[in-house]
């Protein structure tokens, strides 16, 4: 994780607005399993930029759960290794 809060926000926006879009343009099939693709599956939105059908709503929820578990594990590991005081 990043130490600088501004850098963390910039990286997050950069991922969602640029990197993920570029990845989906290069490999459209992977778009179903990105965070944005999972959000589209959970919401029931029909995309025009992702190749093939989206997974069902429950699968999109499981993808979100997977991203959440990984992020929480990384955050827990980083916070244990760093001195908070």
* Average pLDDT along the chain: 83
Scan for tokens 């959440």, then name that residue.
Answer: 68
Share of the chain above pLDDT 70, in %: 86
Q: Which residue segment(s) compose the domain that 34 sits in?
A: 5-81
Helices 35-43 and 57-81 sit at what angle, rounded to 10 degrees? Answer: 140
In the predicted model, is pLDDT for residue 48 greater than 70?
no
Rg for the chain, CA atoms, rounded: 15
| Tally of domains within the chain | 1
Give the pTM. 0.71
Half-sphere exposure of 66 (CA within 13 A, CB side): 11
Integer Cα distance of 78 and 73 in angstroms: 9
């Amino acid at each position: 994780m990043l130490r600088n809060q501004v850098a963390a926000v910039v990286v997050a926006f950069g991922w969602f607005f640029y990197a993920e879009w570029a990845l989906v343009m290069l490999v459209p099939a992977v778009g179903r399993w990105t965070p944005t693709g999972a959000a589209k599956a959970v919401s029931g939105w029909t995309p025009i930029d992702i190749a093939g059908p989206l997974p069902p709503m429950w699968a999109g929820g499981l993808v979100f759960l997977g991203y959440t578990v990984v992020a929480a594990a990384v955050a827990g590991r980083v916070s244990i290794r760093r001195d908070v005081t």
